Amino acid sequence: MLEVNKNVLLFFAGIVWLLVGAMLLLFAFLWLSKSPQIHDYVFAFVGITAALFIHHLGFLKIVDKNVNRILPMEREKSIFSFIPWKSYITVVFMIALGALLRQSSIPKHYLAVVYISIGLALILSSVRYFRIYFTERQRSEYLK
């Protein structure tokens, strides 16, 4: 098992959240670009607005819990411990739900709103991981 220090965990968490968010935004962009209409901007606007609420009211709390769990770590941990083990159940559920939604008969314009909301919120929240990573990195170099 690959074991890493807390700074790598912070960086890895930021990368994972950033990449998953980008993937969701790519799906939404492809769906909305297939039939350009003025309504597509409305769907995008609703998704962006929802993303700001999801980011601020939901995901930042999750990031803070993860950061508060990672920062006190003294020894190296598994690379997969950037989120608690119980959270992997939620991750599997979200992946399965996303796959079901993509295969459903729900119009892609509506799914794009959900994908924009979650994807952009993940990207915005990944910034906090990176900010704390760089702060911790500077702090550890200062202490040397």
pLDDT, tens only, 63-81? 999 999 999 998 999 998 8
Q: Work out the percent of the chain whose per-residue pLDDT is above 90.
A: 74
pLDDT (0 to 100) of residue 45: 93
Exposure string over 22-55, b if 16+ CB within 10 A, otherwise e? eebbebbeebbeeeeeeebeebbeebeebbeebb
Tens-digit pLDDT profile for the chain (144 aa)?
A: 789 999 999 999 999 999 999 999 999 999 998 876 767 888 899 999 999 999 999 999 999 999 999 999 989 999 988 888 889 999 999 999 999 999 999 989 899 999 999 999 999 999 999 999 999 888 877 776
Query: Is 31 in contact with 116 (CB distance < 8 Å)?
Result: no
